[in-house]
Structure 1
Amino acid sequence: MATSLFLLIDDIASVLDDVSLLTKVAAKKTAGVLGDDLALNAQQVSGVKADRELPVVWAVCKGSLINKAILVPAALAIGTWLPWLVTPLLMVGGAFLCFEGCEKLAHKFLHKDEHAADTSRHEKAVADTSVDVVAVEKDKIKGAVRTDFILSAEIIAITLGTVQGQPFVTQLTVLVGIALIMTIGVYGLVAGIVKLDDAGLYLTQRPGSGAQALGRGILVAAPWLMKALSVAGTVAMFLVGGGILVHGVPAFGHAVEAWAATAGVLGTIGSMLVNAGIGLIAGAIVLAGAELFKRVRRKG
């Protein structure tokens, strides 16, 4: 009896060691996606009324948890029964992410009047207390959750690749752990970023010249940080989406990786430019196809 108990404890300890090690490896591999996810989601909730910032972040966070609750079982099922389907699904997700990036650029630069009207509408909603701000923010939340689904899918897919061949319990534990860690990490940081201005205002009202100076500095820097995150978020769409497409073609992806490994810093920058370039081209093609489909549908 005692021997069986010790063996059970030893097996549990062994599994926990494997889970811990694989979780660390998966976290390192998905760290880049975490940065992109942070930039994109901070961008999505920017411009929201101050007292609605945290509710919006929480709404997107709940959507992200639902996304991962769908993706983790799906990943386990696909990895077990349809492993060949992982790459095509990632390719579709990458193309969609690139499409969204191109759509944002097109909407901003080619449809300036519409973009200005949308901005004005949101600003009026923020300023006018009689307007249902929640209804205005609904599209923003939907867009953020939709984008999160693509990035979450990449995180889960990378993690699945890390734990492939391991026992089912280990795979499940690592996938769930990474899903929770990434969600809490991203939306905890997003919540902190969007409340920077409140923190700055609080410090300006505290006694002491040092605290007040720091508060003023935060208030000056916060809008620039949000603008920078907005730009970084759009760039991240092309980097992540393009990276998925590049690695979806193994020969091309391996060639880019080999070149980047031998060229040092220039290789790293070059591989990022390749990913972004592929993402921009793919997004433009999908956007053109979508616009053509809309026109044909209108005529029909």
Structure 2
Amino acid sequence: MSETHKGALEWLKAELDDESDEDFELELSESVLSLELRKVYKKQHADTLDRRTYFTELIKLQAELIKLQDWVEHHGEKVVVIFEGRDAAGKGSVIKRITQRLNPRVCRVAALAKPTEREMTQWYFQRYVPHLPAAGEIVLFDRSWYNRAGVERVMGFASPDEVQQFFEDVPEFERMLVRSGIRLVKYWFSLADEEQQLRFLMRIHDPLKQWKLSPMDLQSRVRWEDYTKAKEDMLARTNIPEAPWYIVEANDKKRARLNCISHLLEHIPYEDVPQTPVVLPDRVFNPDYERSVMPPELYVPKRY
């Protein structure tokens, strides 16, 4: 085995060991669930990927995401990725895995709160425009202007006329973005009724995840069929050639993450870019310099 290959394997093992924090997070989350919920969840996902296979593939994809990031920055590309789907479908978790190893100055997340009173008087798309990328940037929208076609429509926050106007405007708005040089990719995370119910129950019984549940999330269970109809109408009316929708089957979280990231990498024609070799310079030693001693009260207590 060559030294290069041996070094690569050692690096991969170190990375897999480093990912154990996510394993612990998962175990901690599961430990506070009721025994029955844990049995049901494991039965539902008996054929999911084992953790080592999952992490090995994830790290490979994340290494490619770094190449994508370098290509975007080097060529001044502009990328927008929209993540839509039902509550608890796993949009946030795939965004987390995409950004985990990337430079936040290049790849950032836009997750807008509900509009202010002032924003409600603006052109509907106006509050999203400032979050669009400049050259050399990637923006991941954790929900987007499609709120109007989903929650606003179903919950009655937008009138039928406003919804109709949205459907007339959004294709041209997205064509404008594409004409401006933005690469626009849209994902819908598809989740089964029973799987959403199970994930909601897990959040209810997990103190570390209860913050993820909002009144709107709970209403989405009551109005499941209304959301289904709204989703089908949205996909039919906004699936344009310049910015088509891609559906991610999200019942299996691990596979959904890997499939989505893999598709994103295949969808954008990135390539390796020239890299300037990094050389660590020698430290300059000044014989007359003495490092000052800081007062003890400035230090964080060593409790661990």
Structure of higher RCO (CA pairs closer than 8 Å, 6+ residues apart):
1
**TM-score (normalised: structure 1):** 0.23
Bigger fraction of residues in helix: 1
